[in-house]
Structure 1
Amino acid sequence: MSTMTPRVDPTNRAQAQAWDGTEGGYWATHADRFDLALARYQPAFHAAAGIGAADRVLDVGCGTGLTTRAAARAAPAGEALGVDLSSRMIEVARERAAADGVGNARFAQADVQVHPFADGEFDAVISRTGAMFFGRPDVAFANLDRALRPGGRLTLLTWQAAASNEWIVAFARDLAGTGPPPSPPHRPGPFSLSDPDHVRALLEGAGFTDVALDGVAEPEVYGRDADDALAFVLGLLGWMLSDLGPAERDRRTAALRATLAAHEGPDGVTLDSAAWLVTARRM
């Protein structure tokens, strides 16, 4: 794949600006923190992917590459290609694969909604919380279906509805003063694939079969203690306070710190989360 700036579909331009801008930069800088937050989901996600020793794997929205490296290690006679809209995260992913000696992990900046993969290029497509941001998910999943060989496997981890995720309920309440955000199925965002009926219809319409969703729930780790977690969350979501006066900003920051302190435990600050483990096959 080319190292040139990738083609981005017009419906994904806002996502590209965010992920190849400050948001992606924050994720790249705090790669270990984000990987730790999702660490308890990784064993079930990796097992569901069922990667074989000679498989060719595509990792969609690979971020800084932990899931790509895991796939590559599981396929020593194959390879794993991680793609993401964030050039900074791709850079970190390459550095980490080289440092770990995972030579069959490759990375490229790409919009999988429009990237011209070869027909049947992959045995497996995986995406851990990276497939919810397509402007046209029907087009993106059809492209991924085409990129899989017949019988090839798709494995996704996507969030369940916001109301089922304690972390976003708490952050929205304390920082924005609102309830959890809605889960619109036709707008890109963390909860766009939270409705099982919508996911089944979307994947079956793209050509997949044997679509299954299994509910999984794990705590997410946000920091060593309340102050550590507060700095991390504010770095990610502090924009929610940007239009407020100093007194209200301080009040909401204090409310968030109190919430985080109430969730301190032996594993650090943890908040509950719930996701779907989605599996499907290309016909």
Structure 2
Amino acid sequence: MSDELARAWDEAADGYEQYFVPRFRPWVEAAVAELGDLPPGPILVPCCGTFPELDLLLEQFPNREIVGIDLSAGMVELARQRASGHDLVSLVEGDAATLDPQWHRACSAVVSVFGLQQLPDPQQALSSWYDALRSEGRLSVVYWPSVTEEDGPFSQMKALLRPGAPAAEEDPAAVLTLDRDELVRFPITHDDAATFFEAYAHSGPMRATANARGAAYVEDLRAKFLQQAPDGEWTHRPAARLISATGRAPTDR
């Protein structure tokens, strides 16, 4: 992740926690539920953001070491607040794409929600995360694929930001043997199109673009978006990809 992108997420952190974290919770629940029974060892959460996975992990695995990693200092600060009072939980401000060698074949689980699609080399990141698993450990990852919906605010924003972008993408999970691979849909509701745009532009994935291109660009994009958006409350059902894999014995890798 570039310095500019990390800085954008620092600035977006508070708004992201307030707006998107509650709306994304069903996918977090799905990712944590996918872990099932785990062997001994720490649970690693790369690209943890504000750490919305933590409460569910503590409930399901109360006596485990849990470590969140994120490059954004603003996100990590909010994650530390969420982790306050839990002695077995720690946060690392650093690169989640290539894990420190200390985690190699040491973890009972690696779980990540909506971080993989932001990384410059998702295949390499998944390989690094998988290699952190001990035998019978579990990898559970949810991320936004290149196409999340046919019609909705996500698809309309993508069309405005990247007109003519190809729908196909290199499969990040092609490097793994998967136990589960499916698209998981849940409804998200926004009060109206203007509310969504404000959150997306300033508290979501467009923040870095908004910083780089300036207020005039954002205002022009807002006008185009609202012109084609429906009036009133807006509910859509985007699809995220959920993948899981089981760690193998060292001789099997």
1:273 paired residue number: 238
Query: Distance between the aligned counterparts of 1:87 and 1:258, measured in 2?
Result: 36
Query: Residues 183 and 102 from structure 1, CA distance in 2 versus in 1: closer, same or farther, beyond 3 angstroms?
Result: farther
Among 216, 221, 234, the alignment partner of 2:184 is 216
* Greater RCO, 1 or 2 (C-alpha within 8 Å, sep 6+): 2
In the alignment, the residues of structure 2 paired with residue 103 and residue 257 of structure 1 have an alpha-carbon distance, to the nearest angstrom, of 47
Q: 1:53 to 1:91 in 2, by over 3 A?
A: farther
Q: Find the counterpart in structure 1 of residue 110 from structure 2.
A: 125
Label 1:18 to 1:202 Cα distance change in 2 as closer, same or farther (>3 A). Answer: farther
Alignment of 1:91 with 2:58, yes or no, is: no
Q: Where in structure 1 are there 5+ consecutive unaligned residues?
A: 1-14, 186-194, 204-208
Shift, 1:178, TM fit: 2.5
1:162 is paired with a residue whose SS is coil
Report how far residue 81 of structure 1 moved. 0.7
Q: Which amino acid aligns with 2:154?
A: I
CA distance in 1, matches of 2:60, 2:118: 27
Distance in 1 between residues matched to 2:135 and 2:114, nearest whole Å: 24
Query: For 1:140, which of 125, 149, 153 is the aligned residue?
Result: 125
Q: How far did 1:163 drift?
A: 6.0
- What's 1:231 paired with? 198
Distance in 2, matches of 1:80 and 1:35, equals 19
The alpha-carbon deviation at position 54 of structure 1 amounts to 6.0
Corresponding letter in the other structure for 2:223: A
Matched with 1:192 is none
Q: Which amino acid is 2:185 matched to?
A: A
Aligned-pair CA distance for 1:217: 1.1
The alignment's TM-score, normalised by the length of structure 1, stands at 0.72
Aligned match of 2:251: none
**8 Å contact kept, 1:18–1:24:** no
Q: Deviations over 1:54-113 (max 9, x none)?
A: 652111100001113321332112121111111211111001221xx4443211112231
Equivalent position of 1:34 in the other structure? 20
Separation (CA, whole Å) in 1 of partners of 2:161 and 2:181? 31
Q: Which runs of 5+ in 2 are unaligned?
A: 249-253
Matched, 1:62 2:48: yes
Give, as a single letter, the amino acid of the residue that structure 1 aligns with 2:199. F
Please state whether the residue corresponding to 1:78 is helix, strand or coil. Answer: coil
TM normalised by structure 2 equals: 0.79
Paired residues, number: 243
- Give the corresponding residue for 2:154: 168
Q: Distance in 2 between matches of 1:172 and 1:143?
A: 29
**Aligned residues: percent identity?**
22
Contact in 2 for aligned 1:62/1:82 (Cα 8 Å): yes
Superposed CA deviations along residues 210-229 of structure 1, whole A, max 9, x for unmatched, are: 442022112234x4334432
